[in-house]
Amino acid sequence: MDKAVHNLRITGSKKVPNVRGANEKTVNNVKTVIWSVDKHVNEKDLAAAAECLRKNEVVAFPTETVYGLGANALSDEAVGKIFEAKGRPSDNPLIVHISDEKQLENLVEYVPETAKRLMEAFWPGPLTLIYPRGRAVSDIVTGGLSTVAVRMPNHPTAIALIRQTGLPLAAPSANRSGRPSPTTAEHVKHDLDGRIAGIVDGGGTGVGLESTVVDCSGGIVTILRPGGVTKAELERVIGSVSVDQGLKNHEDQPKSPGMKYTHYAPKAAVTLVDGGRDFLQSLVNSERKKGKNVGVLTTEESSHSYNADVVVTCGRRSDLSTVARGLYAALRKFDEHDVDVIFAETFPAEGVGEAVMNRLEKSAGGRIIRDSN
Ligand code: TXA
Ligand code: MG
């Protein structure tokens, strides 16, 4: 990726952004700097990025799940820029990233007992916990909720950056709202070049899907978003946990505001296909007969089985963690080709497959065709 000498100011807008009516045109003329680092990242590598963050600019950085778009969580001005850059609805709250549990003091009202056990077992790692919100946290971060989401990422660059800024960093996934989350710095650049101060390029991420979001703020511990830590792993530590009904049942509102939006979507409409290869191929054939360019999303095991305009593979069906890792890059790949429709294979919703299917269902906006035979 190209490196550029930079100008850190967002020149289009000096006023505190009005996140409710964010005008996207005000943030498209920034020089986005790219800082490349490796896993032996040191303070010098991150000095400029940390300086940007301290000046309340937004900077994308790698985590073990996906790239985050970070800003000073204690500044409304800084956090407002996240919503502007992403075009994110203001009722969708952000996750605050910390490098040290001591930072929780200012962010949460108290740490519930179950949260303590989960932190001990899974932090640093792909688990976001929802706590009763502390007074220092602004409404812009929480979307006006009485709770706040916090996680400690398991990535040397993310941890070093948070440490070096000395700030908790609010960070959603670093994609334009509605797009698949970025698993490389190139994905971030594609979506946000010219809209953010900089990108710390630390190579590809690991898990590939976002963190599991778990509500510990009161009553029953509930999974609000499936992710890098599975239900079974959580239950090994704290016993039975429930899953937010709003994730499955479309009549209920999901408790995690972000889960109600269509998400993770390439430009062409995705349809999930619950059936064998022949059934999926028959759907491809009938669309092609209508003159459509058809894409198929599959895994390495079946990549040669389909006859379509574009066949994209994401990992191996025999190891769903590889599918999780490759899913977002695969969804983005379709945008490089001119496809009209995409048919995607489905996966068993168990273990990490639960998060894979959750994201696929979102990217398909719920469209699924089942083989009735
Ligand atoms: O792995 C991840 O979690 C990545 C990396 C960058 O850390 N971040 C991420 O952030 O996925 P984002 O903003 O794309 O998703 C955050 C999710 C949204 O669904 C949001 O609604 C939910 O967490 N959330 C945040 N605060 C919440 C709260 N107080 N109560 C319920 N849900 C909350
Ligand atoms: Mg996101």
Does the C-beta of 256 come closer than 6 Å to ligand 1?
yes
Task: Work out which ligand 1 atom sits closest to the CA atom of 207.
Answer: 1
Where residue 22 falls (left for φ over 0; alpha for ψ -120 to 50; beta otherwise) is beta
CA distance 113 to 182: 33
Question: Is residue 139 in some structural domain?
Answer: yes
Tell me, yes or no, whether 280 and 229 share the same domain: no
Same domain, 232 and 279: no
Domain coverage including residue 180: 37-243
pLDDT in the model for residue 12: 27
Determine, yes or no, domain membership for 23. no
Binding site membership of 92 for ligand 1 (Cβ less than 6 Å): yes
Residue-level pLDDT at 3 = 31
pLDDT one-digit tens code per residue, 203-261: 999 999 999 999 999 889 999 999 999 999 999 999 999 999 888 766 677 788 877 77
What is the position in ligand 1's atom list of the atom closest to the CA of 145?
Answer: 29
pLDDT value at residue 271? 98
Same domain, 72 and 184: yes
In a domain, 92, yes or no: yes
Distance 149 CA to ligand 1 centre (A): 7
pLDDT tens figures, 141-151 = 999 999 999 99
Q: Comparing C-alpha atoms, which of 132, 138, 137 is closest to residue 19?
A: 138
Quote the distance between the C-alpha of residue 262 and its chain's center. 13
Residue 31 lies inside a defined structural domain of this protein:
no
Gap between the Cα atoms of 357 and 299, Å rounded? 14
Residue 4 lies in a domain: no
**Is the pLDDT reported for residue 10 higher than 50?**
no
Model confidence pLDDT, tens digit, residues 111-125: 999 999 999 999 999
* CA of 269 relative to ligand 1 center, distance in Å: 24
Q: Give the per-residue pLDDT at 87.
A: 93
Please tell me the predicted confidence (pLDDT) of residue 4.
31
In a shared domain, residues 292 and 330: yes
Which pLDDT belongs to residue 16?
Answer: 28
Question: How far does the centroid of ligand 2 lie from the alpha carbon of residue 135, in Å?
Answer: 25
What separation in Å is there between the alpha carbon of 345 and the centre of ligand 1? 26
Give residue 250's pLDDT: 64
Query: Is 160 a member of any domain?
Result: yes
> Domains in the chain: how many in total?
2
Per-residue model confidence as pLDDT tens digits over 291-304: 999 999 999 999 99
CB 343 within 8 A of CB 284: yes
| Residue 51 included in any domain | yes
Q: Looking at residue 27, what is its pLDDT?
A: 60
Q: For the chain, what percent of residues have pLDDT higher than 90? A: 80
> What is the position in ligand 1's atom list of the atom closest to the CA of 148?
29
pLDDT at 185 over 60: yes
Tens of pLDDT, residues 323-362: 999 999 999 999 999 899 999 999 999 999 999 999 999 9
Task: Report which bound ligand comes closest to the CA of 179.
Answer: 2
Q: Output the pLDDT for position 254.
A: 79
pLDDT of residue 18: 36
Q: Quick one: pLDDT band at residue 41, thresholds 50, 70, 90?
A: confident
Average pLDDT, the chain: 90
Per-residue pLDDT, 264: 83
CATH number, domain containing residue 289: 3.40.50.11030
Average the pLDDT over 96-107 and give the result: 97
128 and 213 fall within a common domain: yes
Is residue 20 predicted with pLDDT exceeding 50?
Answer: no
Tokens encoding 43? 């303070």
pLDDT value of position 259: 78
Q: Which residues contact 295 (CB under 8 A, 6 or more apart)?
A: 268, 308, 309, 310, 311, 312, 334, 337, 339, 341, 342, 343
pTM of the predicted structure, to 2 decimals: 0.91
- pLDDT bucket at 196, cuts 50 / 70 / 90: very high
